[in-house]
Chains A and B, each alone.
Chain A
Amino acid sequence: MERVDVRQNVLKENDRIAAELRKEFAERGIVCLNLIASPGAGKTSLLELTLQAFVGSRHKVAVLTGDIQTERDAERLARFGFPARQITTGGTCHLDAAMVRRALADVSLDGVDLLFIENVGNLVCPAAYDLGEAAKIVMLSVAEGDDKPMKYPSIFSRAKLMLLHKVDLLPYTRFDLAAAKADARRVNPGIEIIETSCVGAPGLQAWFDWLETARARV
């Protein structure tokens, strides 16, 4: 019997492709953001309003949107005139770097300075896969409950930003905003937190400001 040391990351092929994508994004001056949340948290609605806000601005945005089935999200997102491409995983519960690379082959990145990747709705599996993004963004809507950061520490610990979304619904829930923020900071002391809503106050201005700052860092 022979024992061979092979110390390597299990996802090294994914990590290799992600590193190539990250290099390409950096060379092109593209900020790539990987948006991760549960199904129904509001990812696509947030992106719709975000794209709408960028229409006529100096920024050119592109979107990849992942789902297990249907082209519906890409149809929703294509209405704003920016490149939007669906990635249909056919059952897989997360996006990986190879899927992103394949999808980008059909997308013109000329002039694009902001690329959103809307991951498959899931707080578990997407955490493990590097897509070459500048930052992972985790969105938690208040209807889901304030216990999620401690229940899904892997994604909350790896995200640069948490969007506490649908805060207009707070009066109708038992969601403890302070507890959710404190727990997110327990698993990730450096995490940035923004409260957002697509309907009513506080709206999305703080999120747009964050995007401008992220753009300026490149």
Chain B
Amino acid sequence: MHELSIAQSIVESVRAEAAAHPGARVTRVGIRVGDLSGVQVDALQFSFDVIVRGTDLEQATLDIERVALQQHCERCARDFPVVDYTLLCPTCGAPTRTVAGDELQMTYLELE
């Protein structure tokens, strides 16, 4: 249950960014959560709601985009979606590298 610490980091980042827009109210926060990030999105949503309750961010919506795990095989020169966390290339069996799905990013803020 590290989602509470992660939600706290998100709130700190939102406040740091919002400070550059005095007078504006944050209405929406975009987050990308990769399947391999180890973050459980329901727990993240719950933690965010608890932290912002009673603050100026209370009305802000957390927009969580889940990102499926995507690997790249050098030998086949192609990306492929990962099934059941098997990171070997389904075509040639070679080891691959992650191109998407391990991220935990804040992507945008909406202000009004």
Residues of A within 8 A of B (CB): 1-14, 92-94, 96, 124-125, 127-129, 150, 153-155, 157, 185-190
Contact = CB atoms under 8 A, between A and B. Distances in A.
A124 B9 contact: no
Nearest to A189: B95
B6 A186 contact: no
A189 B9 contact: no
Give the size range of B's interface with the partner.
20 to 34
Nearest to A124: B38
Interface in B67-112: 84-88, 95-96, 103-112
B10 interface: yes
A188 B87 contact: yes
- Main SS at interface, chain A: mixed
A93 B6 CA distance: 12
Contacts of B86: 186-187
B5 interface: yes
A128 B12 contact: no
A140 to B, nearest CB: 16
Nearest to A128: B38
A90 to B, nearest CB: 12
A186 B85 contact: yes
In the A-B complex, list the 9 residue pairs whose CB atoms are closest, starting with the nearest: A125-B2, A189-B95, A154-B38, A153-B85, A186-B86, A127-B38, A10-B104, A1-B112, A4-B109
A96 B110 CA distance: 29
B85 A4 contact: no
B111 A4 contact: yes
Nearest to A149: B85
B9 A7 contact: no
B42 to A, nearest CB: 14
B105 A187 contact: no
Nearest to B31: A10
A10 B5 contact: no
A10 B34 CA distance: 12
Nearest to B28: A3
Contacts of A6: 13, 17, 106-109
A113 B112 CA distance: 53
B20 to A, nearest CB: 8
Nearest to B39: A128
22 contacts: A1-B27, A2-B111, A2-B112, A3-B109, A3-B110, A4-B110, A5-B107, A6-B108, A8-B13, A8-B106, A9-B103, A10-B13, A10-B106, A13-B12, A125-B2, A127-B38, A128-B38, A186-B87, A186-B88, A187-B87, A189-B88, A190-B95
